Amino acid sequence: MDERGSTVTIPRRSILGAIVAGLLGLGIAPGAQAAGPYQLVLDQGSAFSILGRSCGGIQEESFATGFAPSGYPAGNVNLSTRCGGSGRGGGYKTTTYTASASVVWNWFGHVRSYARLEGGGGGSPSFEQTDAHGDRIYNAASRGYLETGEPPLQPPDAPGEVAASVAPYEVPGTETEHLRMYVSWSPAPDTAALLTSSTVTATPVKPGPPVLTATVDGNWTTAALEPVSPNTAYVITVTSSDEEGTSAASAPLELTSPNEDGEKGAGGGGTAAMTCETASGTIKLSPGLSETPHVQNITLKGELNGCGGPSPAESASIVAHLQTTEEVTCLALASLSFEPTTAPVSAVVKWAPKEAGTSHGSLTVPITEAGEAILGGSLQGGPFSSPAAVSGAVYESFTGAATCGVAQGKKQAKPVKSGTFSGSSIELG
């Protein structure tokens, strides 16, 4: 971190998340005590998306300008970086690149939204303002600051588009098998980047079987719950949490699990319409993973084989387009903590034999080599008269992942752009 503190938001967020969790556990509202001051800055990834360059880091000058219509602190951030030339043509001269952004922060000094600001982001060095809740913003030494009194904390909106399916799952390295539930959802877009966790709860309609829960970190949008009781009706809900609180539960989804073999039981409904034994294919990333944060456009091309169910479909070819919901680096491959969330763009599944038709919809899968990547999404058309949830897990391997971001001799590090995936027991229904 340099003297401007432009990268402090990452460690501070982790620390504040723990503090907030502790206060909530004690029944103390985080806004009940004054806190801060928090520096109002733009994180380096977002700054790069505005400026488009980073030579040894992006320097920032920020000005608080008031409270936004939403009530949150708002201001302007001026960005700059100096890039040196090289060789005879470059003349060893330096070029300074500048840009500005308008930013809205949350009550913990983290970026809630931002946009490019044309014409430069001005502000008064002596500006100071306090709202009706005792929250104070002010400028000092080319930096905006926030001190909170009792801020009007706003938990995120409830997640939507919840989908779920159940299928047999064999525990790796054993001969033990049980039913596993796969759940996917879409977080509220306004606060998706600020989420600290989401919790899925599957409650049996009739008392007896245990309630199943799973919590995922950050803004992940898929989870697996196990073991699922056979022939049991469950009500599934999802909540999302950030530093300001926990959302209301999503609209409830009811699902009835199959029997122990994954076959539809007498209870009806909720079972997979189709199971495909294997899935495999390729992954293309653009512009590719490197040490410079970028939003990745993802293209998956692959095959589903050994498909069985009530339809005549036996196999399929897949083309799916996705995009990461945030700028990511090489860290995404090596650690589940940095596994980025992906948002679907489109998916087309062409079934064989041809008379089985074509399905359209969405597919989501994280980018990672750190463990299994859980599939999500839904398809409609072809074998499916109504939306069919996609669930399962695949393992990914990327060319050049071990040296991602590492220069090879005098050559610059090459971005990681391609990989493969493979999995089994993919459920659709």
Higher pLDDT residue, 30 or 277?
Answer: 277
Indicate whether 408 and 312 sit together in one domain: yes
- Mean pLDDT of all residues in 384-405: 87
- For residue 236, give its domain range: 160-256
Predicted pLDDT of residue 264: 58
237 and 287, same domain (yes or no):
no
pLDDT at residue number 11: 32
pLDDT, average across residues 398-409:
85
Predicted local distance difference test score (pLDDT) of residue 21: 42
Q: Is residue 4 part of a domain?
A: no
pTM equals 0.62
**Does residue 27 sit in the same domain as residue 116?**
yes
| Within-domain flag for 369 | yes
Is the domain of 305 the same as that of 372?
A: yes
Residue 263: what pLDDT? 63
Point out the domain boundary residue: 123, 148, 173.
Answer: 148
Greater pLDDT, 58 or 56: 58
Residues 131 and 197 in one domain: no
d(CA 379, CA 353): 18
Per-residue model confidence as pLDDT tens digits over 336-366: 555 557 778 889 999 999 988 999 988 888 8
- Look up the CATH number of the domain holding residue 242: 2.60.40.10
More confident residue, 53 or 262: 53
Strands 212-217 and 197-204: antiparallel
**More reliable by pLDDT, 14 or 300:** 300
| CB 289 within 8 Å of CB 40 | no
pLDDT at 153: 94
On whether both 100 and 236 belong to a single domain, the answer is: no
| Amino acid identity, position 369 | E
- Say whether 33 sits in a helix, a strand or coil: coil
| Predicted local distance difference test score (pLDDT) of residue 25 | 41
User: What average pLDDT does range 152-174 have in this prediction?
Assistant: 87
- The answer to whether residue 263 sits within a structural domain is no
Residues 331 and 362 in one domain: yes
Percent of the chain with pLDDT strictly greater than 90: 45
Average of per-residue pLDDT across 223-229: 92
- Does residue 8 sit in helix, strand or coil? coil
279 and 420 fall within a common domain = yes
Position 229 in a domain: yes
- Could you tell me the CA-to-CA distances from 340 to 145, 244, 364 in Å, in that order? 29, 22, 11
Are 311 and 398 in the same domain? yes
Q: How many domains does the chain have?
A: 3
Q: Examine residue 262 and state whether it is found in any structural domain, yes or no.
A: no
Q: Is residue 2 part of a domain?
A: no
Helix (H, G, I), strand (E, B) or coil at 189: helix
For residue 40, what are its two tokens? Answer: 């109002």
Interval 124-145: pLDDT, tens: 999 999 999 999 999 998 899 9
Q: Among 204, 225, 256, which residue terminates a domain?
A: 256
pLDDT in tens, 5-54: 332 333 333 334 444 444 444 334 443 455 889 999 998 888 888 888 88
Asked if the structure places residue 40 within a domain, the reply is yes
Find which of 77-91, 187-201, 239-253, 383-397 is predicted with most confidence, using mean pLDDT. Answer: 239-253
In a domain, 200, yes or no: yes
Query: Count of residues for the chain?
Result: 429
Instruction: Identify any residues that bridge with 280 across adjacent strands, giving them in sequence order.
Output: 303, 422
Question: What is the predicted pLDDT for the residue at 339?
Answer: 53
pLDDT score recorded for residue 28? 41
Do 283 and 417 share a domain, yes or no?
yes
- Region of poorest pLDDT, from 202-211, 224-233, 319-328: 319-328
Report the chain's terminal Cα–Cα distance, integer Å: 49
Is 367 in the same domain as 409?
yes
Distances 379 to 181, 262, 318 between C-alpha atoms, Å: 18, 20, 11
| 135 and 167, same domain (yes or no) | no
